Amino acid sequence: IIKPFDLIYGKYFSPFFSLSDIEFAWSKNGLEKIGGTQNLFFRIDYLLVERDLPLDISQISSSERSKQIHCSFRVFLRTMTIKWEEEVEKRLLNYMSHSSTTGNEAKFAEVVAKDLEDNGWTVQKQFIPGTDRFNVYASFRNSDPKYVKVLLNTHLDTVPPYFPPTQDDKNIYGNGSNDAKGQLAAMVTAATIISNTDEDVARALGLLFVVGEELDHVGMIEANKLGILPDYLLVGEPTELKFGTIQKGALKVKLTVTGQAGHSGYPDSGTSAIHKMVEVLNDVLKFEWPSDKTYGSTTLNVGKIAGGQALNAWAAQCDADIFFRVVTSVKNIEELLNKVVDGRAEVTLLSSNDPVILDVPPIEAETDQVSFNTDIAYFDAKDKVKAKYLFGGGSIKNAHSKNEFIPKDELHKCTSTLVKLVHNLYSYH
């Protein structure tokens, strides 16, 4: 009997590897590496340690032995991989069958809490004061809930309206499929795989799932009171399986221009606030806002305009709301905006948070800038962690829409990448 656990967690091996270029020799203690190249194999299934792999090697020559070992493990790994791929798909479809639009997360949070408890995790429910809504924080068995080496975080809420899931051979569709119940299902599945294979690693892992991310970040703001201080933080959002290099900052402002009401048939009877606003916004849109080769460009959207009282009157007032995605700093963009406006409009700050520079993972992975806001900016300990990551399956470009979906292949790869990263951070950092 050769135990896969001994191979994968032996001193010679990373958690994920390919057997195709590795040679082995038989000894009293099992298989030992004697040569070859170790390659990463991200599709390995950690549930394989629940079984032993019988190989009759007594009549096999040394040269043929390696071939049988390779072949047997390949068959075994693929069989087990199918098992957890089906599990994460089933978990996501179950999660998506429960509505959890912002403000209505309580019933779904109970579903997630029970799922974790059924898989051996200790759950703490942190209620938002004055509501039935609560964050879910899970640690494994007797681990210290305040200290974890790796903290996986995403959100329970989705943008309305709710609509139930559907699927085909390639994708899972529906409200929250990628933002962010797909990330949630991948994290819970990854945690289950880890806890079923190495309890020491599981005890170093924490899972924090919060409410209200899509509206006011109230869940993460409240979660700071838990006092969790991880070495590493990973937030799950749909990034197309690329690790973010930056979470761009957010600056929301209101421009207000005042005119003088009068009959629009007589140009000298008043001044139009709308006409003045058009000139201001034209200059704002034409201005070259800061950009960076690594972190991308500052972008903006004039999302709302309101003004005027009648078609036959000069507009007495006009308001325009602008949302900047910031790569430098909020202060820098505010200063530049005031120079562009040059006193022609009143600038009112609505809300803001600075960019968050993210870390490159210690595993091979694609990277990209992220142009949407997340809970990272609201985690008080973000500047105390050794590294912070933003990663997930699916694309933000179809989130918050009736066309939202996550490819099943990305759901699988997201799960395996989380397992791989957690083991890497636990073992080598």
Kindly list the catalytic residues.
Answer: 213
Q: What residues are paired with 254 via a beta bridge?
A: 321, 348
Nearest to 377 by CA among 287, 251, 243: 251
Residue 47, φ and ψ in degrees, nearest 5: -70, -10
Six-digit token pair at 14? 């990373």
The DSSP output letter for 405 is E
Measured N-to-C along each axis, helices 181-197 and 62-96 cross at an angle, to the nearest 10 degrees, of 140
Six-digit token pair at 297? 């460009």
- The CA–CA distances, whole Å, from 202 to 40, 119, 165, 362, 411 equal 22, 12, 31, 19, 21
Cβ atoms 354, 382 nearer than 8 A: no
Query: For residue 131, how many C-alpha atoms fall within 13 Å in the half-sphere facing its CB?
Result: 19
Question: What is the CA 148 to chain-centroid distance, rounded?
Answer: 19
- The CA–CA distances, whole Å, from 262 to 231, 307, 315, 353 equal 63, 14, 8, 41
Q: Which residues contact 102 (CB under 8 A, 6 or more apart)?
A: 157, 158, 159, 160, 211, 212, 214, 215
DSSP E strands in 200-275: the ranges are 205-210, 232-236, 243-247, 249-258
Is 37 exposed, middle or buried (CB count within 10 Å of its CB: 0-12, 13-18, 19+)? exposed
Cβ atoms 4, 53 nearer than 8 A: yes
Distance CA 132, CA 330 (A): 35
Can you tell me which residue has the tokens 């135990």? 3
Can you tell me which residue has the tokens 């806001």? 373
Distance CA 387, CA 401 (A): 32
Element (H, E) at 162: none
Cβ atoms 389, 244 nearer than 8 A: yes
